[in-house]
Structure 1
Amino acid sequence: MTDQAFALDRPIATGVTHIDIARRSACLKQFGSHSMAFSTMQPDLAYFDMPGIGYIAYARHYGVRFALADPVCHPKHRELMLDRFLAEFPDAVFVQVSKAVVDHLHYRYGYYGTQFGSESKIDLAHWSLRGAKKQIIRTAINQARNQGIVIREGGFDHDVRKISEAWIRTRRCKNNEIRFLIRPMLIDFREGTRYFYAYLGGKAVGFVFFDPIYRDGKLVSYVPNISRSSANFKQGLWYALMAHAMEVFKEEGVAYIDLGLVPLMLAETVEPQESRLLRRVMSVIRERMDFLYNFKGLEFAKSRFQGTVEKTYCCHRNAMPGFAMFALFRLTRII
């Protein structure tokens, strides 16, 4: 249970072993029910391990430790892990965590638990393309078909780097792939991941990579963590790729799809444990700083699927954790 030397603001060390990876992988498959659980296996993170119980993944940047998502452990051990982690790192910030984590940190340690964004889950058993808001998805599917796009699943293809690099240059965060809150496209640990590609004339022009979500040792869901497409097709190709993959998962009996984080998609009601000051700042960022990240565009795209929206939170000691938020934006490469 040490602050390993491969946290993101320090050189990567070789201290991680195959035994560490195997142990965390087994834990992930048993308790990885959070949408970001698979992303805790991304490179360059540090780990707080409790062998036989679980782990917390975190990164340190500008001296601030950011715990990523809920502890990967049985729910009955969640509070124990949080207590032990805070005993060693009392000023840690927790990013994209559930209400269960918020409640424990707030009532026991006085943490603020401020909504950070929202996630959307789609029950695949009842999924269909009917409905007015899904017209844009139906249009995208038809356009892709008319243009000769062929969508199929395949293995991991390293040649997709070219599509990714071209796509990133069209984004708000040019030249840098966002990290931490989105796991890297190229990773060594890929067990359980799925890859869907869109081809035009035999050439890949877009793709969506899905990460697995587990509960009680069984795969229950996927989350689309990496998506790219040629600038010539924009978001329309993403809709077609998602619809195709969801039909495949539905036929396989996968319970649901978690569309993942929509940062700064905030409910109107402010909960008692939230920092009203931070909420106001995040609202300003969302409304006036779209040049940093396409917050509204992502919210619009995911809302077309009409999923069930759930809140996700960040937990922090101070009402206005200005430096920590700056460090998080730098860590993720948003700024």
Structure 2
Amino acid sequence: MSDQILALDGIRSAAEGNFGFAERVGYLKQYGVHSQSFSTLQPGMQYFDMPGVGYVAYMRKWGGTFVLSDPVCATENFAVILEKFHTRFPNACYIQVSKPVVDFLHLRFGLFGTQFGSESRITLQDWSLRGKKKQILRTALNQAEKNGITVKERFSDDHTREISDAWIRTRKCKSKEIRFLIRPMEMDYRENERHFYAYQDGKAVGFIYFDPIYRNNEIISYVPNISRANADFRQGIFYTLMAHALEVFKAEGIPYLDLGLIPLSLDPATEHQESRPLKRLLHGVYEKGNFLYNFKGLEFTKSRFRGDTFKTYCCHRRTIPALEFLAMFKLTRLL
């Protein structure tokens, strides 16, 4: 890591730039391998641009700076752009970032890197509905068939807002859609989104929006960032939509399907760079905080697909970043 830091000296003179939107999309398609890279283009984001390298996406709240996902650049340039970004925003918090980002920020600046949750990825070549552990998926599909549920891919709006508003009223957070950690349903930039709708008696009763994940200008995966269902069909519609989309993507030769963030799904073991008090607090929120968000239900639902799981982290300066987390919850509209 020290050699990597020394190598920065020859690059620090690179000027910060202000990318045009098309230029930023170009970096996304080249380097947008993170499950939330597409979400960095959501409304309200601010950007730290570095010509020839990439960008960091962030939002601000109560004077705090909150970075979403890894920098959109080549992995070998994480240190380059994070060095300059941290110089500008030394008290920033980094949310849903990977271990290479954690390692640099911890070793270079002494930031904690505490697990924030897990993510899951399905290798589509190996995907099937077979196996005892996927029985719940098969049951959902059978029930959907008995109830006359069909799934179609279409891009036009089909009772989307009506379904979404009814769905939101059934959630723990009933006032507004979550943002930042989950991009808003309506975005100006929608290139390569995929929309799958479930229908009963010709009427849409649920849908999932999938966002593309890129590498070297090719789509390597999709992630279901927006999912809604009619309140009468809360059980099974997600599984039915997902199973259909998985088969479509597999047939197209897409390598992976990412399931996105599973918040507060934590490994009990504590890594050396993690804040032990914060890790204990997050464990407690997972166990006792279901009135805020359905942490356990989401983890159970995504675990049914038997993907390969890996950790995702938050980086922070203070041992317990209480004010920062409060600001982030306000930013995301969870509070």
- TM-score range with shorter-chain normalisation? over 0.9
Task: Output one character per residue of 1:87-146: Cα deviation in whole Å (capped at 9) or x when no partner.
Answer: 111110000000000000000100000000000100100001112221111011111111
2:312 paired residue number:
312
2:36 paired residue number:
36
1:260 paired residue number:
260
2:8 paired residue number:
none
Matches within 5 A, 1:217-236: 217-236=217-236
How far did residue 231 of structure 1 move? 1.0
Task: Output one character per residue of 1:166-211: Cα deviation in whole Å (capped at 9) or x when no partner.
Answer: 0000011112111100000011100011000001111110000000
How far did residue 75 of structure 1 move? 1.4
Pair 1:91 & 2:91 matched: yes
CA distance in 2, matches of 1:205, 1:117: 30
CA distance in 1, matches of 2:182, 2:216: 24
CA distance in 1, matches of 2:181, 2:103: 22
Task: Output one character per residue of 1:265-290: Cα deviation in whole Å (capped at 9) or x when no partner.
Answer: 00111100000000111111111110
Equivalent residues of 2:123, 2:256 under 8 A apart:
yes
2:179 paired residue number:
179
Give the structure-2-normalised TM-score.
0.93
Residue identity matched to 1:282? L
Residues 158/50 of structure 1: CA separation in 2 closer, same or farther (3 Å cut): farther
CA distance in 2, matches of 1:127, 1:311: 22
How far did residue 53 of structure 1 move? 1.4
Equivalent residues of 2:158, 2:204 under 8 A apart:
no
CA distance in 2, matches of 1:103, 1:115: 13
CA distance in 1, matches of 2:158, 2:139: 30
Give the structure-1-normalised TM-score.
0.93
How far did residue 229 of structure 1 move? 0.4
1:238 paired residue number:
238
CA distance in 1, matches of 2:258, 2:156: 21
1:115 paired residue number:
115
Task: Output one character per residue of 1:212-265: Cα deviation in whole Å (capped at 9) or x when no partner.
Answer: 001111110000000000111113110000000000000000001010000000
How far did residue 156 of structure 1 move? 3.6
CA distance in 2, matches of 1:29, 1:238: 28
CA distance in 1, matches of 2:221, 2:172: 29
2:9 paired residue number:
none
- In structure 1, runs of 5+ residues without a counterpart are 1-16
2:275 paired residue number:
275
2:46 paired residue number:
46
Residues 188/167 of structure 1: CA separation in 2 closer, same or farther (3 Å cut): same
Residue identity matched to 2:127? W
Residue identity matched to 1:77? N
Secondary structure of 1:235's partner? coil
Residue identity matched to 2:99? K
Q: What is the root-mean-square deviation of aligned Cα atoms in Å?
A: 1.0
Secondary structure of 1:179's partner? coil
Secondary structure of 1:228's partner? strand
Equivalent residues of 2:112, 2:274 under 8 A apart:
yes
Residue identity matched to 1:300? F
1:300 paired residue number:
300
CA distance in 2, matches of 1:126, 1:21: 37
Task: Output one character per residue of 1:61-87: Cα deviation in whole Å (capped at 9) or x when no partner.
Answer: 011100110000111211110001011
2:193 paired residue number:
193
CA distance in 2, matches of 1:334, 1:69: 19
Give the count of matched residue pairs: 318
Residue identity matched to 2:134? K
Secondary structure of 1:210's partner? strand
1:331 paired residue number:
331
How far did residue 52 of structure 1 move? 2.3
How far did residue 158 of structure 1 move? 6.1
1:157 paired residue number:
157
Pair 1:209 & 2:209 matched: yes
Stretches (4+) displaced over 4 A: none
